[in-house]
Amino acid sequence: MQRELAVDGLRALALLAVIAVNWVGYTSLPEAGPLGPAQATSSWLAQLSLALVAVLLAGKGISLLAFLFGYSQGLSRRARGRDALAHRRLRMRRLLALGLLHGVFIYMGDVLTLYAISGLLILSWSGLRLRQLWRRMMMLLGLELLLSLAIAVWLLQGGWVEKSDELRSLTQATNGWAWIRLNGGNFIAGVLGQLLLALPFFTGLMTAGLIAARLRLFSHRRWRASLQRWASRWLWPGLVLNLVWGLTLWQALRSQNERLEQLCWSVYIWFALALLAGLVPRLVLAAQRGSRLMLQLAPAGPHTLSIYIGSSLLSLLLFSGLGLSLPFGTAALLGLSLLYWSLWISWAPRIKIRLPLEAWLSR
């Protein structure tokens, strides 16, 4: 399957957001994540780092990756023809197995499981006409919007369980069984919650990606004017909206206002989409012009699964109770995540083969 520069570059960039949020919020899991108060609270650098993560990164990576997941399915269907469905179904089953193992034993914030389940669902309608796909996408996103609004109203009326004073952390589990109960148990509970509350959103975004691939949105020149309009219309409003949302979340975490924090997380996906609607078209246009940034990012795109699993293994080693449980602050965690991602970006052009995880998944 011929790779698209824009898809690979966007995939690598989205992974930066995922890794940074996972590492910065690691010590707050399982009960106070995905982000927690800055460590140390008196450090202006830690507070600034947390604010930057909230404004620019939180929610953006997982949303963009879901869209690109569906886009890749569309590319696979076009390239493989009749063999695409069987190949993608096998790929989703393997991804589901990997996600369950990853979530139970390594990192409870796994996204592969939800992606695999959503991917299996949209396989059944990947051959529908564009108009039918469009209707399903709108239905799914509309359902998710209703769920978000219902949760927000419930929170404003006093719903949700308050957090306890003694919060458990992944740094506390010091043996294998304690780790499986704390990490794995909360992963299973989290997956069930995601299936109830977030499945329409991720399935809808994947359907949007499938539609975009059918239309050759990232590669055909007829869409350049539309991409330019979207970039001009949404980039700055998206930045402003995410500035407001991110600073509100940062203030909620700083003041330990649990209800305001939960309210922020109940609507975060829509703020993330507002920014992505302006940023992604601009980056796609840059890729079409052969920009240096996208050319540097793209080589890491085929290896994002290994980068993602590698980041979880490294966080298990460095931050968990099973590992070294190193007491890094928020600024140091953000710096380390950027360093890890940057090393992969610089190393990726030298990789001339498929890494083992990608090779197994595609076989």
What's the mean per-residue pLDDT of the chain? 92
pLDDT in tens, 139-183: 999 999 999 999 999 998 887 766 655 667 888 888 999 999 999
Structural tokens at position 273: 């989409």
As beta bridge partners, residue 4 has none
pLDDT in tens, 13-66: 999 999 999 999 998 898 777 999 999 888 999 999 999 999 999 999 999 999
Structural tokens at position 358: 């990608």
pLDDT on residue 172:
85
Q: What is the mean pLDDT of residues 270-281?
A: 96
pLDDT in tens, 285-322: 999 999 999 999 999 999 999 999 999 999 999 999 99
pLDDT category of residue 1 using cuts at 50, 70 and 90: very low
Q: Where are the domains of the chain?
A: 5-362
In this structure, how many other beta carbons lie within 10 angstroms of the beta carbon of residue 165? Answer: 5
Structural tokens at position 132: 């039918």
In this structure, how many other beta carbons lie within 10 angstroms of the beta carbon of residue 8? Answer: 22
d(CA 218, CA 309): 27
